[in-house]
């Protein structure tokens, strides 16, 4: 088991079972999350018998770097190998407001969106919470700087790995853990309705992003087969519930695909569906992938779509892409190494 898989309470119980005092858990967490120790031997204020027991029971190395690419805009894309040989990726984006990492939550994804490189691969397994945490720690080491923001938008559907996701969020947010503010963390979902509601009741102020990509079931079902289980109306209802419970604004992700969901009439329909909701729309020009037949929207279409939303007083941004020259769309680096 990875040492990062343990909550502080679980670590305390483990230590107590082995007749060590509670404060040792704080020392270990300090080494793990503040010092980013790579080995148990570095934990110099621990007694040798404790280091021995830790080594016998836990692993600390979670990821092996296979390849890293740095883009001209400073985006760093890392392909990591897990202990069982599965490949995952994390992307570090340098923003004017700080360093933001995009982490992976599953090996592959079962949601199977038709435009997504990850969706083409069936899910092999969930990542443990420790394996998600390790992406942040390992990337901080490679970068030599602190990471200030986390987006859970890499390969996988985080709400299909909900328990490990929650555990991850609690550890990265914990002042004794990585201490990244909840408001600096965003989880993106394809729209698993019951989990959006559960997440609304979770209690920490983490942001929610929902991949809508279409205002109606006809277009959305063609892009996302999950829409058959959770159609647009139910997703919007879940978002309404989330906003009511948390009083927080939700991000609507909308990739712009040429001739599929980028027409001005579609923008009008989207504006109408979102009217009165505390949301902001993040328009993302589609990143073409070899696994899917779709094309990116023409620039004029992107602007026209943006203008319609603006005219309807919907808060909207048109994303300036990052890392395009190094294939920063989710799953792309990994798919090239299979």
Which of 78, 113, 116, 330 is catalytic? The answer is 330
Tokens at residue 69, please?
A: 């690419």
What CA–CA distance (Å, rounded) separates 130 from 147? 17
Q: Is 116 a catalytic residue?
A: no
Q: Is 102 a catalytic residue?
A: no
**Helix %, strand %, coil % for the chain, to 5?**
40, 20, 40
151 is an interface residue for ligand SF4 by CB under 6 A: no
Pairing verdict, β 315-318 and 279-285:
parallel
Taking CB positions, which residue lies at the least distance from ligand SF4?
119
Length of the chain: 338
189 is an interface residue for ligand SAH by CB under 6 A: yes
Contact positions with ligand SAH (CB under 6 A) in 136-155: 153
107 is an interface residue for ligand SAH by CB under 6 A: no
Residue 270 binds which entry of ligand SF4, ligand SAH, none, CB below 5-8 Å type-dependent = none
Closest CB to ligand SAH among 40 and 251?
Answer: 251
Integer distance in angstroms from the first to the last C-alpha of the chain?
26
5 is an interface residue for ligand SAH by CB under 6 A: no
CB of 212 to ligand SF4, least distance (A): 12
> 281: which strand partners?
252, 316
Helix axes 162-173, 129-143, angle to 10 degrees: 40
Closest CB to ligand SF4 among 33 and 262?
Answer: 262
Task: Return the residue of 173, 211, 227, 251 that touches ligand SAH, per CB under 6 A.
Answer: 211
> 126: which strand partners?
106
Which of 78, 89, 157, 253 is catalytic? The answer is 89
CB of 119 to ligand SAH, least distance (A): 8
Rounded to 5°, the CA angle 136-63-103 comes to 35
Radius of gyration from C-alpha coordinates of the chain? 21
CB of 116 to ligand SF4, least distance (A): 3
CB of 161 to ligand SF4, least distance (A): 11
- Contact between 103 and 154 under an 8 Å Cβ cutoff? The reply is yes
Task: Return the residue of 5, 131, 138, 157 that touches ligand SAH, per CB under 6 A.
Answer: 157
Closest CB to ligand SAH among 246 and 335?
Answer: 335
Given the rule CB under 6 A, which of 115-123, 198-206, 240-248, 257-265 is the region that contacts ligand SF4? 115-123
Task: Return the residue of 89, 126, 157, 253 that touches ligand SF4, per CB under 6 A.
Answer: 157
What CA–CA distance (Å, rounded) separates 159 from 176? 25
The sheet with strand 185-189 has its strands ordered as: 64-70, 76-81, 87-95, 98-102, 149-152, 185-189, 207-211, 250-256, 279-285, 315-318
Place of tokens 């394809």: 190
Phi, psi of 194 (to 5 degrees): -60, -30
Spell out, one character per residue from 245 to 284, where the chain touches ligand SAH: x when CB under 6 A holds, - when not: --------x-x----------------------------x
What CA–CA distance (Å, rounded) separates 212 from 83? 34
Task: Return the residue of 75, 90, 91, 119 that touches ligand SF4, per CB under 6 A.
Answer: 119
User: How many residues bind ligand SF4, per CB under 6 A?
Assistant: 12
CB of 251 to ligand SF4, least distance (A): 14
Q: What is the set of active-site residues? A: 89, 330
């Amino acid at each position: 088991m990875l040492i990062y898989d343990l909550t502080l309470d679980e670590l305390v119980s483990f230590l107590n079972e082995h007749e060590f005092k509670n404060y040792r858990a704080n020392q270990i967490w300090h080494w793990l999350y503040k010092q980013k120790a790579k080995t148990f031997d570095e934990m110099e204020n621990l007694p040798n018998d404790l280091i021995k027991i830790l080594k016998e029971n836990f692993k600390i190395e979670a990821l092996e770097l296979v390849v890293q690419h740095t883009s001209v805009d400073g985006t760093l894309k890392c392909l990591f190998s897990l202990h069982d040989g599965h490949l995952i990726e994390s992307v570090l984006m340098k923003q004017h407001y700080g360093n933001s990492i995009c982490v992976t939550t599953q090996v592959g994804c079962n949601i199977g969106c038709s435009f997504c490189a990850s969706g083409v691969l069936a899910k092999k397994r969930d990542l443990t919470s420790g394996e998600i945490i390790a992406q942040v720690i390992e990337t901080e080491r490679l970068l030599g700087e602190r990471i200030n923001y986390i987006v859970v938008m890499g390969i996988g559907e985080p709400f299909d790995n909900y328990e490990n996701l929650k555990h991850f969020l609690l550890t990265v947010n914990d002042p004794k853990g990585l201490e990244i503010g909840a408001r600096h963390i965003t989880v993106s979902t394809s729209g698993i309705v019951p989990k959006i509601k559960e997440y609304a009741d979770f209690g920490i102020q983490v942001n929610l992003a929902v991949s809508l990509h279409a205002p109606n079931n006809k277009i959305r079902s063609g892009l996302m087969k999950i829409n058959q289980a959770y159609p647009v109306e139910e997703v919007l209802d879940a978002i309404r519930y989330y906003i009511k419970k948390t009083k927080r604004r939700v991000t609507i992700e909308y990739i712009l695909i040429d001739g599929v969901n980028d027409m001005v009439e579609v923008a009008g329909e989207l504006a109408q569906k979102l009217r009165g909701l505390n949301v902001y729309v993040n328009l993302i020009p589609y990143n073409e992938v070899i696994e899917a037949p779709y094309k990116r929207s023409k620039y004029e279409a992107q602007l026209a779509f943006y203008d319609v939303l603006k005219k309807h007083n919907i808060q909207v941004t048109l994303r300036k892409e990052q890392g395009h020259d190094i294939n920063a769309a989710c799953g792309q680096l990994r798919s090239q190494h299979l």
